[in-house]
């Protein structure tokens, strides 16, 4: 799905988080970043994935990672999602899909026999210099932190 691969520069982006703050890739210069794209806030798979990352937040911090979640949900929906589960990281409300398209995770999907366009659940691990270290396309929603930290 995505054309980005290990060794590529992560695309520069600028978007608003759930609180209306501007977030951009350059904010993370000199830090490692886990940026995960998910289809829809508060759905079972997305909740399991986001909660697993949050439950392991201290482990990510100890290894020098920041975390950023992205979906096409509104800021209000993202805010409700974050507040309900107490996420310790920002969620981008990428309603115009600028970040989603920059990372190449929007495209045709199939679910229950229907085909439609949507976000492909994908995670990018970005190093301190903005280079993509890993692309995880087969996300295990209930054990995603282990896919990243224990790899």
Strands 122-126 and 132-136, bridge-based pairing? antiparallel
Q: Which of 34, 46, 50, 139 is catalytic?
A: 46
Short-list 9, 37, 49, CA closest to 129 = 9
Question: Distances in Å between the alpha carbon of 34 and those of 44, 53, 103, 110, 146?
Answer: 21, 10, 13, 26, 13
Q: Is the dihedral of CA 120, 71, 69, 129 positive or negative?
A: positive
Any catalytic annotation for residue 46? yes
Q: Tell me which residues are annotated as active site.
A: 46
């Amino acid at each position: 799905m995505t054309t980005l691969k290990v060794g590529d520069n992560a695309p520069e982006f600028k978007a608003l988080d759930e609180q209306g703050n501007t977030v951009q890739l350059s904010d993370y210069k000199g830090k490692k970043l886990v940026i995960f794209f998910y289809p829809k806030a508060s759905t079972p798979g997305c909740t399991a994935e986001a909660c697993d990352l949050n439950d392991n937040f201290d482990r990510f911090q100890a290894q020098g990672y920041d975390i950023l979640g992205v979906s096409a949900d509104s800021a209000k929906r993202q805010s409700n999602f974050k507040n309900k589960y107490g996420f310790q990281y920002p969620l981008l409300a990428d309603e115009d899909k600028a970040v989603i398209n920059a990372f190449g995770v929007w495209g045709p999907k199939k679910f229950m026999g229907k085909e439609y366009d949507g976000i492909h659940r994908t995670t990018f691990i970005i190093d301190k210099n903005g280079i993509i270290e890993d692309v995880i396309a087969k996300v295990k929603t209930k054990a995603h932190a282990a896919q990243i930290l224990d790899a």
